[in-house]
């Protein structure tokens, strides 16, 4: 608690951006690797349960949440000491989750059970289980927190779950194997990646939160078979200008003009690029590369890969600690 | 407080947007009298194929819950002499889509008996002729052909530069057809069959009945004095001898084909491409590991489910047209979308190479290119197929 207050005071003084911790879940290594975003050195690696995949952090930057898929729970770690805190119930096989912007609750996709589980992170109680399509995976939340979007990989839908009553209000069919859902910061657009379909579906969101499918972004890289251009993770800059799309086995991150939907660039990264996260100042984007066991640091403005950093075995997810 | 949201409420969002479509599908499996397999690990589960159907039914019904589409499934296992009557009974119930697990000749007869209004998905018959001159407009082949499997195996050998092949085949017609597929594959991918032998199926008194001692003595003798070769190709569709070949050859060589490294539509070890989740869901539902026939049946029903989802129709002709169209694509846990070949109704798909414990490789292999899709390097390409039932593709 004391650390937290000190952090708040420091942030209030508006000091230049401090180094942030980058937490990377290693699916096969059963660990989380911690990287310093200033020196880009690995500063720690700690056990994180069995098959850690989805990873996120509380808005105050103190608690790291990890989907320990094979333990059927969400493990919680102190972001400072890496000490394990009491776990959260998640339902079976949690893969990805999204935290309410307030820090509570947590919305968790249960891949084997066709459910989204809603868990209160303070009381550690399950608040609701929402039946969704087959193999739920991607989880996004609208900036106003009215809707949680879940993508189901075998049903091929984006399900819009009303956070007030946990009822699904909209379903949108997208291309094969949707993996990730990302709202723009102003909530006016939603991007859903389809790994096997090879596309990103763009939806415009109206004032009531209702989606309309308006475009599908495709990808093309000379010398790479179209089958290997498989969109997985996606992140958009706060100003809504640039969408970055991880293309899995194509070993590239696509840079998309988020207004015109034109792909302007492909950045070579490590092998089987999966998930991504920005540093809080959006100067850097970090990608997990599952088959080369490293992460790539991308200079967002220059749209260039700067360096790669070895992490644990089969890195899956990444989250950057907010400024403290 | 724990709130379970009923699926009906969850489906609310789409209720107005969709028309109702209800698909009823029959899964017809013909069970042939057979001797026990060479290894008991190959024993046929009584729910073979049907277990895959049960998972597909769950998957389709879950999606259907959001779309306002209903799915019903009827599974029938029948002896060969009862197959026609079982088919008639399914058709009499008004079923217009069928998944059939039967041998080539029975599949053909049943498809013809069902007639052109009925859409048949072939989940077991692998004869290449069914995708060639014997093709039928009302049959879509979900299971790979013998030619696709042989091509997948020989591509791997060629990638390894194991181009001198020693082909050992059985003596039954299906073994000879398999051997022919390997000869064709060798010619296509730059390999050579330097030695070829037939292992005769002597019926009840199998050479191998005497157990491992006799096998250990006889197989080296049977395989000795072969011309210099890199790999042994086992073509034993009858399950008579291939399982004994690894470790009992005269020359120490790897075995590919009906034993050793086997080309399969799917294997229970695959973990890549989300397959782990698929395997787990199958195992939780059925209590056993997935077999190829389960995968092929699951995939056949998913083809139908995907077509219903995208067209909003349960009409067999509409589903067939959509499946064969450019719009159709389906994720099948093999790393890329699967689609149908418009010239013969065969599903394009990767073929896994399974050593019994792990997925050792997946074909098509790197470097085998094709103007349309690398997947079309496996099996009958448009110019190879004499099938005319699909309007010439």
Q: Rounded CA gap, B136 and B138, in Å?
A: 5
Average pLDDT over residues A154-175: 97
CA distance from start to end of chain A? 13
Q: Rounded CA gap, B65 and B8, in Å?
A: 8
B301 and B72 Cβ atoms separated by less than 8 Å: no
How far is the alpha carbon of A47 from chain B, nearest alpha carbon, in Å? 22
Compute the Cα dihedral for B217, B219, B224, B229 and give only its sign.
negative
* Cβ–Cβ below 8 Å for B337 and A93: no
Contacts of A176 in chain B (CB under 8 A): 329-331, 337
Residue A15 belongs to some domain of the structure: no
Can you read off the two tokens belonging to residue B347?
């599903």
DSSP B110-150: HHHHH-TTSEEEESS---GGGGTTT--TTEEE-SPPHHHHH
What's the ipTM?
Answer: 0.86
Question: Alpha carbon of B14 to those of A159, A169, B343: distances in Å?
Answer: 10, 8, 36
Residue A5 belongs to some domain of the structure: no
Residue A262 belongs to some domain of the structure: yes
| A70, pLDDT greater than 50 | yes
Contacts of A125 in chain B (CB under 8 A): 1-2
* Cβ–Cβ below 8 Å for B10 and A175: no
Query: Tens digits of per-residue pLDDT, B263-272?
Result: 999 999 999 9
Task: Give residue B213's pLDDT.
Answer: 65
Q: Give start and end residues of each alpha helix (H) in chain B.
A: 7-10, 12-15, 50-67, 83-92, 104-114, 146-159, 173-188, 212-223, 275-286, 292-311, 316-324
| B104, pLDDT greater than 60 | yes
How far is the alpha carbon of A149 from chain B, nearest alpha carbon, in Å? 13
Residues 199-238 in A contacting B (C-alpha not used; CB under 8 Å): 225, 227-228
Residue A300 belongs to some domain of the structure: yes
Instruction: Confirm or reject contact between B18 and chain A (CB < 8 A).
Output: no
Q: Rounded CA gap, B40 and B34, in Å?
A: 13
Residue A3 belongs to some domain of the structure: no
Most B CBs within 10 Å, among A171, A226, A227, A272, to test the B interface: A171
| B7, pLDDT greater than 70 | no
Task: Give residue A17's pLDDT.
Answer: 53
**Domain count across chain B:** 2
- Say if residue B201 is in the same domain as residue B324: no
**Domain count across chain A:** 1
- Say if residue B90 is in the same domain as residue B136: yes
Nearest to A157 among B59, B66, B336 (CB): B66
Other Cβ atoms within 10 Å of A70 Cβ, number: 17
Instruction: Confirm or reject contact between A93 and chain B (CB < 8 A).
Output: yes
Residue A221 belongs to some domain of the structure: yes
How far is the alpha carbon of B373 from chain A, nearest alpha carbon, in Å? 9
Helix, strand or coil, per DSSP, at residue B54? helix
Contacts of A291 in chain B (CB under 8 A): none
Average pLDDT over residues B68-78: 97
Residues 287-306 in B contacting A (C-alpha not used; CB under 8 Å): 302, 306
Residue A120 belongs to some domain of the structure: yes
Please choose, from the candidates B56, B256, B80, the residue with its C-alpha nearest in 3D space to the C-alpha of residue B158. Answer: B256
- Say if residue B140 is in the same domain as residue B272: yes
Residue B373 belongs to some domain of the structure: no
Q: Which domain holds residue B32?
A: 7-144+267-351
Instruction: Confirm or reject contact between B36 and chain A (CB < 8 A).
Output: no
* Cβ–Cβ below 8 Å for A171 and B13: yes
What average pLDDT is seen over chain A? 94
Contacts of A164 in chain B (CB under 8 A): none
Helix, strand or coil, per DSSP, at residue A114? coil
| B20, pLDDT greater than 80 | no
pLDDT confidence band for B35 (50 / 70 / 90): confident
Task: Give residue A324's pLDDT.
Answer: 84
* Cβ–Cβ below 8 Å for B14 and A133: no
What average pLDDT is seen over chain B? 92
Most A CBs within 10 Å, among B2, B10, B308, to test the A interface: B10
Q: Which domain holds residue A101?
A: 22-320
Local structure of residue B380 (DSSP, 8 states) = -
- Say if residue B220 is in the same domain as residue B271: no
CATH label of the domain that carries residue A26:
2.130.10.10
Residue B374 belongs to some domain of the structure: no
Task: Give residue B212's pLDDT.
Answer: 62
- Say if residue B271 is in the same domain as residue B259: no
- The percent of residues above 90 in pLDDT, for chain A, comes to 91
pLDDT confidence band for B393 (50 / 70 / 90): very low
| B113, pLDDT greater than 90 | yes
- The percent of residues above 90 in pLDDT, for chain B, comes to 85
Helix, strand or coil, per DSSP, at residue B151? helix
Task: Give residue B17's pLDDT.
Answer: 41
Please choose, from the candidates A300, A279, A291, the residue with its C-alpha nearest in 3D space to the C-alpha of residue A232. Answer: A291
Instruction: Confirm or reject contact between B8 and chain A (CB < 8 A).
Output: no
Query: Tens digits of per-residue pLDDT, B327-381?
Result: 999 999 999 999 999 999 999 999 999 999 999 999 999 989 888 899 999 999 9
- Say if residue B46 is in the same domain as residue B90: yes
All residues at 6 or more sequence positions from B295 whose CB lies less than 8 Å from its CB, including other chains: B52, B265, B266
Instruction: Confirm or reject contact between B13 and chain A (CB < 8 A).
Output: yes
pLDDT confidence band for A10 (50 / 70 / 90): very low
Nearest to A197 among B4, B274, B337 (CB): B337
Task: Give residue A7's pLDDT.
Answer: 47
pLDDT confidence band for A98 (50 / 70 / 90): very high
CATH label of the domain that carries residue B197:
3.40.50.2300
Query: Tens digits of per-residue pLDDT, B268-321?
Result: 999 999 999 999 999 999 999 999 999 999 999 999 999 999 999 999 999 999
Query: Tens digits of per-residue pLDDT, A99-148?
Result: 999 999 999 999 888 999 999 999 999 999 999 999 999 999 999 999 99
Lowest mean pLDDT among A38-42, B202-206, B227-231: B202-206
Nearest to A155 among B4, B63, B274 (CB): B63
Query: Tens digits of per-residue pLDDT, A12-32?
Result: 444 455 799 999 999 999 999
Task: Give residue B215's pLDDT.
Answer: 78
- Say if residue B57 is in the same domain as residue B137: yes
Q: Rounded CA gap, A215 and A204, in Å?
A: 9
- Say if residue B138 is in the same domain as residue B281: yes
| A5, pLDDT greater than 80 | no
Query: Tens digits of per-residue pLDDT, B212-252?
Result: 667 788 899 999 999 999 999 999 999 999 999 999 999 99
- Say if residue B18 is in the same domain as residue B139: yes
- Say if residue B273 is in the same domain as residue B137: yes
- Say if residue B57 is in the same domain as residue B167: no
Task: Give residue B206's pLDDT.
Answer: 54
Other Cβ atoms within 10 Å of B273 Cβ, number: 22
Average pLDDT over residues B69-95: 98
- Say if residue B155 is in the same domain as residue B140: no
Residue A6 belongs to some domain of the structure: no
Contacts of B310 in chain A (CB under 8 A): 173
Q: Is B241 left (phi over 0), alpha (psi -120 to 50) or beta?
A: alpha
Average pLDDT over residues A147-170: 97
Residue B30 belongs to some domain of the structure: yes
Can you read off the two tokens belonging to residue A98?
């999204």
| B6, pLDDT greater than 80 | no
Contacts of A170 in chain B (CB under 8 A): 13-14
Residue B76 belongs to some domain of the structure: yes
| A2, pLDDT greater than 50 | no
Can you read off the two tokens belonging to residue B68?
């306002």
């Amino acid at each position: 608690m004391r650390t937290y207050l000190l952090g708040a005071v420091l942030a209030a003084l508006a000091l230049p951006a401090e180094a942030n911790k980058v937490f990377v879940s290693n699916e096969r290594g059963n660990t989380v690797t911690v990287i310093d975003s200033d020196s880009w050195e690995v500063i720690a690696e700690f056990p994180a349960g069995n098959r850690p995949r989805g990873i996120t952090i509380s808005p105050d930057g103190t608690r790291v949440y990890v989907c320990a898929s094979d333990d059927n729970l969400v493990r919680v770690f102190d972001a400072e000491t890496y000490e394990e805190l009491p776990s959260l119930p998640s339902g079976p096989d949690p893969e990805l989750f999204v935290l309410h912007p307030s820090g509570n609750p947590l919305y968790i996709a249960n891949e084997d059970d066709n459910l989204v589980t809603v868990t209160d992170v303070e009381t550690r109680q399950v608040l609701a289980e929402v039946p969704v399509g087959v193999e739920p995976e991607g989880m996004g939340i609208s900036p106003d927190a009215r809707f949680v979007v879940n993508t189901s990989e075998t049903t091929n839908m984006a399900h819009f779950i009303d956070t007030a009553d946990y009822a699904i209000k909209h379903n949108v069919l997208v291309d094969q194997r949707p993996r990730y859902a990302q709202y723009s910061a102003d909530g006016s657009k939603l991007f859903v990646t389809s790994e096997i379909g090879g596309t990103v579906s763009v939806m415009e969101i109206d004032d009531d939160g209702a989606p309309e499918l308006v475009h599908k972004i495709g990808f093309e890289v000379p010398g790479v078979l179209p089958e290997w251009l498989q969109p997985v993770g996606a992140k958009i800059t706060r100003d809504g200008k640039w969408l970055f799309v991880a293309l899995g086995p194509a070993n590239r991150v696509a840079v998309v003009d988020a207004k015109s939907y034109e792909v302007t660039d492909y950045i070579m990264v490590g092998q089987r690029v999966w998930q991504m996260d920005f540093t809080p100042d959006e100067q850097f984007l970090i990608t997990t590369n599952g088959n080369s066991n490293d992460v790539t640091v991308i200079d967002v403005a220059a749209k260039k890969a700067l360096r790669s950093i070895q992490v644990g075995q089969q890195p899956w997810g990444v989250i950057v600690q907010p400024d403290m | 407080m724990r709130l379970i949201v009923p699926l009906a409420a969850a489906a609310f969002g789409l209720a107005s947007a969709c028309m109702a479509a209800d698909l009823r599908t029959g899964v017809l499996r013909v069970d042939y009298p057979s001797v026990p397999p060479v290894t008991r690990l190959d024993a046929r589960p009584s729910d073979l194929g049907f277990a895959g159907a049960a998972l597909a039914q769950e998957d389709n019904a879950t999606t259907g819950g959001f779309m306002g589409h209903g799915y019903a499934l009827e599974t029938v296992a029948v002896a060969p002499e009862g197959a026609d009557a079982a088919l008639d009974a399914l058709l009499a119930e008004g079923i217009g889509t069928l998944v059939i697990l039967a041998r080539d000749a029975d599949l053909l007869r049943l498809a013809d008996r069902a007639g052109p209004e009925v859409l048949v998905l072939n989940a077991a018959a692998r004869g290449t002729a069914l995708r060639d001159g014997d093709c039928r407009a009302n049959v879509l082949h979900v299971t790979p052909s013998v030619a696709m499997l042989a091509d997948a195996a020989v591509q791997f050998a060629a990638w390894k530069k194991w181009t001198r092949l020693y082909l050992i085949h059985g003596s039954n017609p299906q073994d000879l057809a398999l051997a022919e597929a390997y000869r064709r594959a060798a010619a296509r991918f730059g390999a050579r069959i330097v030695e070829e032998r037939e292992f005769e199926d002597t019926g009840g008194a199998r050479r191998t009945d005497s157990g491992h001692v006799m096998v250990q003595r006889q197989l080296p003798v049977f395989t000795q004095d072969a011309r210099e070769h890199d790999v042994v190709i086992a073509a034993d569709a009858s399950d008579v001898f291939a399982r004994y070949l690894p470790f009992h050859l005269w020359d120490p060589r790897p075995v590919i084909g009906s034993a050793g490294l086997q080309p399969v539509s799917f294997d229970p070890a695959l973990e890549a491409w989300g397959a782990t989740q698929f395997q787990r869901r199958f195992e939780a539902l059925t209590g056993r590991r997935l077999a190829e026939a389960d995968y092929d049946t699951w995939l056949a029903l998913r083809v139908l489910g995907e077509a219903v989802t995208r067209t909003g129709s349960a009409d067999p002709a509409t589903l067939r047209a959509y499946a064969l169209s450019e719009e159709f694509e389906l994720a099948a846990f093999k790393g890329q979308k699967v689609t149908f070949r418009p010239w013969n109704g065969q599903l394009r798909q990767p073929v896994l190479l399974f050593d019994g414990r792990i997925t050792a490789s997946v074909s098509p292999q790197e470097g085998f290119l094709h103007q349309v899709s690398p997947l079309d390097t496996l099996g009958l390409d448009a110019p190879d197929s004499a099938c005319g039932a699909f309007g010439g593709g």
